[in-house]
Amino acid sequence: MTGALTYSEVGATQGRDLPRGYRRLVARARIGTGPRVYAAAVRAVRSFEMQRAAGLTVHADGPEAAVGVTMTLGLGVKAPLDYSVFTAVTATLLLAAVTVAAVTVSTLRQKGRSAKLAALAATWGMRFTAEDRFQLAPRVAIGFPTAGAADVLVRDLIYQQEDAGFRYLFTVEYTLGVLRTKRRRKGAGMVVETGVAGEAFSAVTLAPGDLTLHEQYAWLWRTYCVSSEFKGDIGQEKPQLDAVGPSAT
């Protein structure tokens, strides 16, 4: 190569000890047998198809690897090519890349929702925790108003202490249906510590499902957490805790 390498750890993978922060990745796949397969593999290696199959972009000043040819690798998306010789490797790398991207996007979206809800709790003078630190999920599952709900998960709790105990607003995720009809659903719910022996928590109340998740929290807060005097409705009783279904995700 005529160009200088952009990293200092040249040839480090040939030794036993890697530089700090580096790990080896070894992937093997049988691509076939016989002279024709071998010749195809040689052509693929020489023409940088191995790098392209791994999802990298290749910029080279020659069609094949040779003395004096400079190649630059980058990250990017290109139109799919025929990598039938490396089907197993390509599929594995593609699956890994898609999985990592999906997890990253989901994590960032969840962190964004949690940050907005934490700010909302602060404006209401209530506390917030993104995790189910009070172990509410089993209690919510027992008193959940939707028949057939499974795999109940609770997160993003907004809570405050009242006379009998704590009032909790939270995001509840659960699964409905079986096999092909299974769907994961999400909504905002509420439970209250009653202080009554044998009935430590009230029944679960769910916000209307036609609202966004943020709006569902706000609906629960306006309906059940704000005093009549604060709302300007002195003497008006708060509604009963009727369960309303959340929206599907």
| pLDDT average, residue stretch 110-130 | 92
Looking at the predicted structure, is the pLDDT value of residue 86 above 70? Answer: no
Q: Return the pLDDT at 202.
A: 87
Per residue in 206-241, pLDDT tens? 999 999 999 999 999 999 987 533 343 323 333 333
Span(s) in the chain for CATH 3.10.450: 124-248
Number of neighbouring beta carbons within 10 Å of residue 190: 26
| pLDDT average, residue stretch 142-150 | 87
Q: Return the pLDDT at 164.
A: 78
Q: What are phi and psi of 5, to 5 degrees?
A: -70, 150
CA 95 vs CA 89, 103, 199: distances in Å? 10, 12, 48
Pick the CATH number of 124-248 from 2.60.120, 3.10.450, 1.10.1660, 3.30.950: 3.10.450
- The percent of residues in the chain predicted with pLDDT above 90, rounded, is 28
Q: Where are the alpha helices (DSSP H) in 124-205?
A: 137-142
With contact defined as beta carbons under 8 Å apart, do 175 and 183 qualify?
Answer: yes
State whether the Cα torsion 153-161-218-130 is positive or negative: negative
- Cα separation, 138 vs 202, in Å, equals 14
Q: Return the pLDDT at 50.
A: 73
